[in-house]
Structure 1
Amino acid sequence: MRSRLLIVGVLAVLLLPTMSSSGEEPSFNDTFSLEWSYDFGDAYITTSPVFIDEKLFVRTSASWGGSAAPTVAAFTLDGDLEWSATNPHSTHHDMSPMFHVKAGSGDCGSWPDMLVLGWSDGSVEARSTNDGELIWSHKTEQVVWGITGEVAKDGDHIVVPTRTGLVSLCAADGSLLMEATTGLGWRNGVAVGQDDYFLGDESGTLWAVARNGSTRSIDLGEGKIRHAPLLTSAGLLVQLQKESSSTIHVLNPENLETHQVLQIGPSPGIPISTPGFILVFDSIAIRTLECTITCSEVDRAPFLSNGEIGQVHDGQYMLPYNGIEQGWGLVNITEKGLLNLETITTGADGYATSGPGFFEHEDHRILLAFGSDDGVVYVHSSSAAGMVQEVSESPYEFDWVAQGTVFLLYIALGGAGIQFLRGRGTSVLKFL
C-alpha cells in the first residue's frame, strides 16, 4: 500500500504543473535594449531628461574640476544633436529641472512652445524647443548660488523659487510681475495652491506667498525643506530633512497648522503623487502613503534613492539607486498600495539622482532615457507592439488528457483519504 501511495504522490507532482500557464511576462532587461548614448564629458546629469514631441532634451551641471560648461541640448529620437546652449557663468549646482511650457496666451501676452531654465547663477531663461533660440531672460539674486529648485506655472505666470525668495514672471516676455523675500533656499521647488504659493527654506521654515507678494510662514523645527510641498486630500505634505532622519509634516494650507507628523529616513528624495497614493523615498526605503483625512504608510521596500522619480510605461515608476551596489528601481504599485520592486541595469547605474525620461511613439515604440553622474545619457528602446505580440503568441493551451487524468486522480485520492480516516485501511486500495 505504501508503494502505491508513493506512486500516486509522484504522479500528482508530475501532472500538477500542466495546470499552470506557460506564458510569463518578459523582464525589463529582456524587453528593452540600449539604442544610443551621448557623452557630455566632464559634467553631471542631475535632473531628468525630458521628451517633448519628437525630441529629447538633456541638461547638465558642471563637475568639480571639470572643463565642460553647464549645457542644455536637444536630440532627435535617433540620437542626432539638433542644438545646444551653454551658460558659462553658471556653477556646479544646476539642479533645477527643465520646465516645459506649451504655447499659449494670457493677460500678459502670448508665447511659443518653450523650455524654462533656472540657472545656478540666478538667471532664468526661456528657450524655444524648436531651435533653442533665447526668447527672454530674467536675473535674480545669487548668494553663492542662484536657482536650484523646480519652476511652476500659474496661468500666464512662471513662478520661480529663487535663492532668496520667489518671483512671478510673465510667460510672454519674462517681465517681473511679483517678488517676495523668504529664507535662503536650496533645491526648494514651489507648489501652486488655490490662494498661495508654498515653498520651504534651509532653516526649516515653510512659506506661503500670496499672489500679491505678501508672505506668512511657520517654523517646522530644526531641519531643511528642500522639495516642493505636495497638495493632498489630507493637507499640505512637507518633508523636513534632518541630520540622521527626516519627518513628514501634514499641514492645513489655510493656517499652516501641523496636524500630523510621520517619521521617514534620512536625505529624502522628491515625493510625487500617484493615482491613490503618495510615493516618498529616502536613504532607507521607498514608501507608499495613503492620504485621505490623514496620511498613513501603506507599504515600504528597502532602497536608497535621494533625487527624482518618474512615471514610465504601464503605470510603473523608476528611480536611480544612489550607490554602486544596485541598479535602478522599477516600481509597481498594486491597487491596495503594495510595492513590487525590481532592480534593473540601465548603463546609468551607480551614484545618480536624476529621474527617467519616458516617451511612447505613434508606432508604439517606447523610449526611456537615463542620465548618469558621469555626464552620459543612455536611451533604451522597445516596441510595445512586440511586447503584446510576444505574450499573445504563447496562449494557455488546455490539455484535455492531462487535466482529465488529474481530475480523476483527485477523485481517487479524495476517496482514499476518506476511507483512511475511517480506519478502513484495506478499502483504501479500492480507490488506487
Structure 2
Amino acid sequence: MPSKFVIFIVFFGLLIVPASTSLGHTVDPENAAWEFPPLQWTKDLESGYVSTAPVVVEEMLFVKVGGRSDSPGGPWDDGKGPGIYAFNTYTGEQIWRYEHTQSRSGFEISPPVFVYGFDMLINGWTSGNITAHNTSTGELLWMYETERISWGVTGKLMPVIGEPNVQDTIHISTETGVLGLSLNGTLLFQHTFPDNATGYRNGVGLAILSENFSIFSSTSGLLLATGDESGGFHSWEIDGSNFSSWDLNSILGASELKMRTPPFIMYPSHQNDTFGAGVIVQGSEGGELVNLQLNNESNLSVKNRVSLGIAPSIPVNLPNGVVVTGDLDSVKAHCFYNLTDCDNATVIDFGPVSGEPVLLGGNYNLGGMPLVVPHNTADGYWAGHLVWWGENNIESSLQWDWHPQKEGWLTAGVGGTTEVMAAANDASWLEVRYFDDDPNAPSIDSDEQQNSENQETKSNNPTVTGLPLLTELLVVMTLVLSTAGLAGGNMAAKRAGSLGILLVLLLLLPTLNLAWVTAVSDEGGDLETSREGFPEEWNDSQVVCFEYPEDLWWDEVGMTIFLDDDEGEIARLQGNNSRTCVGGLSEHQTIQTATVEAAQLAGFEYTWDSQPLGVFVEDIGPAEGGDGDRWWLYWVDGKHGNLAVNLQPITNASVVEWRFL
C-alpha cells in the first residue's frame, strides 16, 4: 500500500515546472472572458456584519452573521443575534437559523467549515466556543468551549478526515493555543502558545518545513501551522504531536510582528527549487510575505521576503510559486522565486483589500484563473479578474464589478463557483447569482425568485455535497506537467503523471480550508451510460458497478451479475462487460459511501488511502491498485470523475461505474 499523502505529494510534484501557456489554462488574452451570472435573489438579513464568505454546498447556502443590537452593550435584537442562516441556494427559502448569543463582539470572522461525508458544519465563535451543526436540519450536535481572553476563535479551522493512521481531527487555532477535536467534539490534543501569547485571525494552514522534502517521499516535513500576535510561528504533526514554536521577530530582525493569516505551502517554480512555508507578517509600518525553510530540522531560515502594504489580506495561492496578496494599496501577484521570465510582482487591482480574496472553481470561457477581490470601502464591491501567465509575466483582466444593491463596507469574499455565487457585506445584505440554465436551479418564475426574501418556511432539501475547506492548499493540475511525469524514468514519476491526467483541476478554497471544485470533468473518457438491461426496480435508485478485466474476472467473460441491496443476486445478463452491479441503493450523497455499501453487498474487500485532499480507492475485490500498472477509475452517469471519492457528489438516481484500467 502506498504511504499516506502520496497523492497529496504528487499534486505538488506536478507544479514544479512553470506552465508554458498559463496558470493551468491556455489563454487568448484578447478574448479572455468570464461571464457574470445574473442576480437571482437578495435578502436583508438585518443581523449585523457578514465578515466571511458564504458557504455554498449544492442546494444549501450558509451565511454567518455577527449579530445586531439597537442598544449598544445591550441584548441582541430578537432573532437577530450572531449565528448562522441556512438557505436554499436557488430559491432563497430559509431552511434553518441558529443564534449563538454567547458571542458579544458584534463580528464573527472564523469561516464556517463544511465536513464532507458527515453532513456537518463546524464554526468557531468569538465567545471561544466551537460548534457543530447538522447541515440539513440545523441541529446543534455538540459545543466545545475554549479559553477566551478578548476575541475567542477568529481564524480558520482545518478538518483532516479519513487519515488511516490518525483519528479524524478538526485542527483549531484558538486565542491561546491550538487543539484538535474529534468529529463528536471530544478533545484529542491541546497545546498552549509560549510566553502567554494570544492569537487573532490566526487560522490553521499547511506548511512544508523539511529542507530535503521530496515529492515522492513520505509525509516528513508536511505539518499544520499557525501564528500569534507576538510574532510566534507554531507547527505540529497531523496527530497533534511535536508542537514546535519559533520567534519570527528574531528570525526577521524585527519587533512587534503579528501573524493574522494562516501559513501556506510555498510551491516550487523550477525543478531545482524546494518547498517552503509561506507566511504573512504584519508590523507597524506594513507587512511582509516571507518564505521560510527549516534547516537541520530545527532552525528556521528566510529563503525570500517581499514587502507588503498595511493590513494585508488573506493570501491566495496560484500554481508555480505564485502568491496573490492584498493590502490597503493594491492587490499583487508575486512570482516569488525571482524567475527570469517573470517580474517579481504584478499589480492586479488597487486597494483597499484587507479581507478574503478568493479563487473560484467552475467553468469559464477562455482560460485564466478566476479571482474575486473584495474592495473594503464605504460602498464596497467585489471585482472579478482572470489571471494567467503572459509571455514574460503574470497578466490579468478585469471581467466585472459586483456592486450590491444595499451599500456597505465589506471584507467577506464570494462563496460558490464561477456559475453560482453568493456574497454579503457589513450592511447584512445577501445577494445570490446563478445562470437560469443551471441544472440544479428550480423552474420558478422571476417574481417568485425576487420575492423569496420574504419566505421563512422550512425545507426538507438535504445537503448533498459541497466544497471542502482546505483552502490553504490550492493546486491546479495541467496536462503538460502530467505528461512530463509519464515520461519520467521511474515508476513513481509515471504514477504521478497518470494521477495528474485524471485530476485536472482541484481547488482549495475558503482560507483555511482550501476549496475544491465539486464537478465531474467533461473532458475525455466519457461513457455512454444506459440503464438498458438493468432490473426495472432499479429505475429510481443508485447503482454501483464494478467492471473487471478478463484476467481477474471469475465468471463467464462478458457476464453482468445484478445484486439487489435486499435480495442478493436477482439476474444475469450476457454482454460485453464483465462486471457486478449492485442496485436499489439510496440516500448516498457521495461515491465513497455508495461504493462502500455496494462492495460490502457484493462481498468485495474495499480499501482506500485517505489524503488531506480526500479519499482515493486502492483495491476492490481481487483487483489491487498498481497490479500491472492498473488502477481503479470511476465514471458518474457517463462522466469521467476526477475528484476524491468522498468529494464527488451523486444524485438519487446516479449510476457509478468502476473500471480497473
TM-score, with length taken from structure 1: 0.74
> Within 2, Cα distance between the matches of 1:326 and 1:75?
24
Post-superposition Cα deviations, 1:156-190, rounded to whole Å, max 9, x if no partner, equal 1100110100001112x111111001120000011
Pairing partner for 1:85 from 84, 94, 98: 98
Q: Give the Å deviation of 1:63.
A: 4.8
Gaps of 5+ in 2: 1-29, 162-167, 208-220, 268-274, 440-661
Q: Distance in 1 between matches of 2:190 and 2:438?
A: 50
Name the residue aligned to 1:38: 43
Question: Which range moved further: 39-48 or 59-68?
Answer: 59-68
Give 5+ residue unaligned stretches, structure 1.
1-22, 104-111, 361-365, 387-432
Find the partner of 1:266 among 310, 316, 323. Answer: 310
Give the distance between the partners of 1:384 and 1:275, measured in 2 at CA. 31
Distance 2:233 2:151 in 1: 20
Offset, 1:133: 1.1
Q: Read off the aligned partner of 2:94 and give its amino acid letter.
A: L
Does 1:305 pair with 2:360? no
1:252 to 293, 297, 314: 293
Query: Relative to total residues, which structure has the larger strand share, 1 or 2?
Result: 1
Aligned partners of 2:400, 2:38: CA distance in 1, in Å?
Answer: 16
Residues 191 and 228, structure 1, Cα contact 8 Å, conserved in 2: yes
Give the drift of 1:305. Answer: 0.7
Contact (CA 8 Å) 2:232, 2:248: kept in 1 or not? Answer: yes
Between the aligned partners of 1:359 and 1:345, the Cα distance in structure 2 is 15
Give the match for residue 317 of structure 1.
371
Q: Is 1:201 the counterpart of 2:228 in the alignment?
A: yes
1:52 is aligned to 2:52: no
1:216 maps to which residue?
Answer: 245
**Bigger shift: residues 232-241 or 190-199:** 190-199
Name the TM-score, length of structure 2 as normaliser: 0.50
Q: Deviations over 1:321-374 (max 9, x none)?
A: 1113663221111223222234513316542100001247xxxxx321111101
1:154 and 1:192 in contact (8 A); partners too: no
For 1:33-432, what aligned pairs fall within 5 Å after superposition? 33-63=38-68, 65=72, 67=77, 68-76=80-88, 77-92=90-105, 93-103=107-117, 112-155=118-161, 156-171=168-183, 173-182=184-193, 183-193=197-207, 194-210=221-237, 211-212=240-241, 214-220=243-249, 221=254, 222-233=256-267, 234-253=275-294, 254=297, 255-276=299-320, 277-292=322-337, 297-301=344-348, 302-312=350-360, 313=362, 314=364, 315-324=369-378, 327-336=381-390, 337-342=394-399, 344-347=401-404, 350-359=408-417, 366-383=419-436
| Distance in 2 between residues matched to 1:42 and 1:52, nearest whole Å | 22
Aligned length: 348
CA distance in 2, matches of 1:342, 1:245: 29
Check the 8 A contact 2:33/2:399 in 1, yes or no. Answer: no
| Contact 1:320–1:349 (CA under 8 A) maintained in structure 2 | no
CA contact (8 A) 2:110 2:124 kept: yes
C-alpha contact 1:287 1:297 (8 A) present in aligned 2: no
Q: Distance in 2 between matches of 1:27 and 1:216?
A: 43
Q: Check 1:326–1:340 CA distance in 2 against 1; reply closer, same or farther (3 A cut).
A: farther
Q: 2:172 is paired with a residue of what secondary structure?
A: strand
**Larger displacement relative to structure 2 (192-201 or 78-87):** 192-201
Which residue identity lines up with residue 53 of structure 2 in the other structure? S
Distance 2:122 2:336 in 1: 31
Using the alignment, how far apart are the partners of 2:201 and 2:438 within structure 1? Answer: 39
Q: Which residue of 2 aligns with 1:427?
A: none
CA distance in 2, matches of 1:385, 1:116: 28
Do the aligned residues in 2 keep the contact of 1:289 with 1:297 (CA within 8 Å)?
A: yes
Contact preservation (8 Å) 1:179, 1:213: no
Deviations 1:381-413 (A, max 9, x none): 224789xxxxxxxxxxxxxxxxxxxxxxxxxxx
Contact 2:380–2:403 (8 Å) recurs in 1: no
- Measure, in 2, the Cα distance between the counterparts of 1:259 and 1:190: 22
> Structure 2 vs 1, CA of residues 139 and 328 (structure 1 numbering), >3 Å: closer, same or farther?
same
- Which stretch of the first structure deviates more once superposed, 138-147 or 55-64? 55-64
- Against the structure 1 CA distance between its residues 174 and 25, is the aligned structure 2 distance closer, same or farther, given a 3 Å change threshold? same
For residue 378 of structure 1, what is the amino acid of its counterpart? E
Give the Cα–Cα distance (whole angstroms) in 2 for the partners of residues 258 and 25 of structure 1.
37
| Partner secondary structure for residue 338 of structure 1 | strand
Counterparts of 1:326 and 1:84 in 2: how far apart (Å)?
26
8 A Cα contact 1:71 1:86, kept in partner? yes
Amino acid at match of 1:367: V
Work out the CA distance in 2 between the residues paired with 1:256 and 1:84. 46
Cα distance, 1:333–1:212 mapped onto 2, change above 3 Å: same
Cα distance between partner residues in 2 of 1:282 and 1:326: 15
The letter of the residue matching 2:236 is V
Alignment root-mean-square deviation, CA? 2.6
Question: Hey, what does 1:363 align to over in structure 2?
Answer: none
Kindly tell me: are residues 90 and 334 of structure 1, through their superposed partners in 2, closer, same or farther at Cα, counting changes over 3 Å? same
Tell me which protein shows more helix as a share of its residues. Answer: 1
Tell me how far apart the structure 2 counterparts of residues 286 and 383 of structure 1 sit (CA, whole Å): 32
Larger radius of gyration: 1
1:299–1:138 distance in 2 versus 1, CA, 3 Å: same
Secondary structure of the 1:43 match is: coil
Check whether the contact 2:234–2:243 (CA below 8 A) recurs between aligned residues. no
3-state SS in 2 of match to 1:257: strand
Distance in 1 between residues matched to 2:377 and 2:429, nearest whole Å: 17
Determine if contact 1:264/1:282 at 8 Å carries over to the other structure. Answer: yes
Q: Check whether the contact 1:270–1:280 (CA below 8 A) recurs between aligned residues.
A: yes
Task: Tell me what 2:587 maps to.
Answer: none
1:205 CA displacement: 1.7
Q: Structure 1 residue 278: deviation in Å? A: 1.6
Identify if the C-alpha distance between structure 1 residues 349 and 341 changes in structure 2 by more than 3 Å, giving closer, same or farther: farther
